[in-house]
Chain A
Amino acid sequence: MIKTIQKSTWIYIAVAFMLVLLPFFKDERWFLFLMIQVFTFGIFAMSYDLLLGYTGIVSFGHAMFFGLGAYSIGITLNFLESTFMNLFLGILLALVLGGIVAFFAGILTLRLKSHYYAMLTLALASLFLVLAEKWRSVTRGSDGFTFRIPELPGPLQDHRNLVVYMFCLVSMVLIFFGLRRLTESPLGKILVAIRENEGRVESLGFRIMPYKVIISVVSGVVASFAGVLYAISIRFVGTNVFGIDVTLDALLMTIIGGVGTLVGPIIGAGIIEFAHHYLSDLSDVHWIFERWIILFGIVYILAVIFFPAGIVGTLWHKLAKRKHKKQEMKQKTSDKLAS
């Protein structure tokens, strides 16, 4: 058991290292930018997976945490001086706000039937969207606003995109390992049990609510941080961060990559972001390629039909089956030897 964990950890570290080297081979602006999107949405999709894949909670308004993060950092750096101190302050504000909203959304609805959480989060996200549109003095309404990020010292300023790339990559890797530990902790095991059979968890003597609220808060904080990274990477905040397609993207990335796998959502984010990019290029060929939401629907349906476990989930099943067969073979040969 321990051995396999170490093996996978080495693989993840190797991949992370390759991603560190990648921009030194391919440093076009659009490519760096796309990779940054993959990292930020990878983080965002992981936070979604904590709810959907691990605990079995459906959220239709996950964008609100993303948006909260984006606006927190944008507003802070816009209204205060653009210094590292304030950058840090903005991030802190984002995390705290994300946590508080997730906490209240959690205790208000998670004791009810599961669809209440989906509905409340959807309603809350719409509320934040309206707030962002109407509170013009702070948010500039639907026009949104650009903001400056602090100047980097010396020569680093010339490689600003690279620095943002590394910052997002390191964040994603650290968050991945942190969340993986969380899901493999005793508490993480209880989350999965809640997903599997709530009633049984209670009759084992665990209360359900605290776990749902805890994971809702963790997920909200991580999603908010993803929003921060997103805003920093484009140095602009607009109301689209509260949009339903942000939530749907997270949902699709998680499902395509594999629910309940954590690494799946990152892969899903890669696939969706690159598909998004290349398909938009094809919009000259046919208008349908511009209608992302239509493609989204088609991909979604195909994924659910043919890949219900997602890419990573399907791979794991295959691997597990192979292992199982090997073990059976061993068993058979040893049985033969014994007789």
Chain B
Amino acid sequence: MESIIETKDLTISFGGHIAVNQVSVSIPRNLFTSVIGPNGAGKTTFFNLLSGQLNPTVGKVFFKGENITKKSTVERTRLGIGRSFQITNVFPNITVLENVRLAIQSREKVRFQMIRHFTYYKKFTEEALNILNTVLLSKRANALAANLSHGEKRKLEIAMLLALDPELLLLDEPTAGMSLEEVPAILEVIENIKKEGNRTIILIEHKMDMVLGLSDQIIVLYNGELLAQGNPEEIMDNETVQTAYIGGESK
């Protein structure tokens, strides 16, 4: 199976603490991979290494066969790696709509246009509203992002990622902190992307039912190390995983 992103001995240490330790994985293209592991296992740090927020102490990252270890976040985004953040990371004092519109603007490469009024790009606004609709946030389009509830901010994160329309989507606990009624809609959004079949998704998630329902492949991190990698059945039957990682539903 062709891989879209691959890591080789990926390692990062903060001071003396090794948060990700010699992780070598290969993520198959257009499939759904989940990353699980107890709190502090290094999942978010692993994402940060993939998306370029952090540079590894040792090891390499390959995207579509190209070594991108030295590439910046900006370059990686332009190559087609998009992510949502576990700790909400939006533009607080502008509207929800504007947050999403900026992502579309980036995708459409409208970077240095300073003569035209932004409303000239009507399609961006329309598309942003559509995306907000799919994540059930269109009612809040004109609110400042800072005034959203925690769950709404999670939806905005997802909306911004969808707007960027990357080939590889890194989702860091997209439904954490949402109320139970809100989760199905977000799940549906994720399922729809999966169904289209031309996107690769990597999901960090604690909710095991969600992980088992969606994943083609599961990666288990434990203390920064790769504990296991395989399809859901293999992971569920894996004894090391059973003993080491009982924290599955701890959140």
Contact = CB atoms under 8 A, between A and B. Distances in A.
Interface in A161-186: 181-182, 184-186
B83 interface: yes
B160 A189 contact: no
B176 interface: no
Given A181-B117, A185-B118, A188-B118, A203 B53 contact: yes
Interface stretch (A83-91, A192-200, A282-290): A192-200
B91 A200 contact: yes
Given A185-B117, A188-B118, A204-B103, A199 B89 contact: yes
Contact of B115 (A5, A181, A196, A200): A181
B117 A203 contact: no
Nearest to B93: A196
Interface in B75-96: 77-78, 83, 89-94
A18 interface: no
A205 B116 contact: no
Contacts of A206: 74, 106, 111
A202 interface: yes
A214 B113 CA distance: 12
B71 to A, nearest CB: 12
A95 interface: no
A187 B119 contact: no
Contacts of B107: 205
Contacts of B160: 204
A185 B115 contact: yes
B116 A186 contact: yes
B113 A186 contact: yes
Contacts of B29: none
A94 B105 CA distance: 35
A189 B102 contact: yes
Most buried by A among B72, B92, B93: B93
Interface in A217-272: none
B110 interface: yes
B119 A205 contact: no
A45 interface: no
Given A186-B114, A186-B121, A187-B114, A202 B92 contact: no
Contacts of A188: 114, 118
Contacts of B164: 204-205
A58 to B, nearest CB: 17
B215 interface: no
Interface size class of B (residues with CB under 8 A): 20 to 34
A188 to B, nearest CB: 7
B90 A200 contact: yes
A202 B103 CA distance: 11
A184 B118 contact: yes
A338 interface: no
A13 B112 CA distance: 28
Given A182-B114, A186-B105, A188-B118, A203 B83 contact: yes
B98 interface: yes
Contacts of A184: 117-118
Nearest to B115: A185
B101 interface: yes
B51 interface: yes
Contacts of B223: none
B90 A197 contact: yes
A206 B110 CA distance: 10
Nearest to B79: A205
Nearest to B163: A204
A84 to B, nearest CB: 29
Nearest to A327: B142
B24 to A, nearest CB: 25
Nearest to B124: A186
A73 interface: no
Pick the most buried of A5, A182, A205, A210: most chain B CB atoms within 10 A of its CB.
A205
A129 interface: no
B106 to A, nearest CB: 4
20 contacts: A1-B119, A5-B117, A184-B118, A185-B117, A186-B114, A186-B118, A187-B111, A188-B118, A189-B102, A190-B102, A190-B105, A196-B93, A199-B53, A199-B89, A200-B90, A203-B77, A204-B106, A205-B77, A205-B78, A206-B74
Closest 3 CB pairs of A and B: A205-B77, A196-B91, A187-B114
Given A189-B101, A196-B94, 8 more contacts: A1-B119, A5-B117, A5-B119, A186-B114, A196-B93, A200-B90, A204-B77, A205-B106
Interface of B: 51, 53, 72-74, 77-78, 83, 89-94, 98, 101-103, 105-107, 110-119, 121, 160, 164
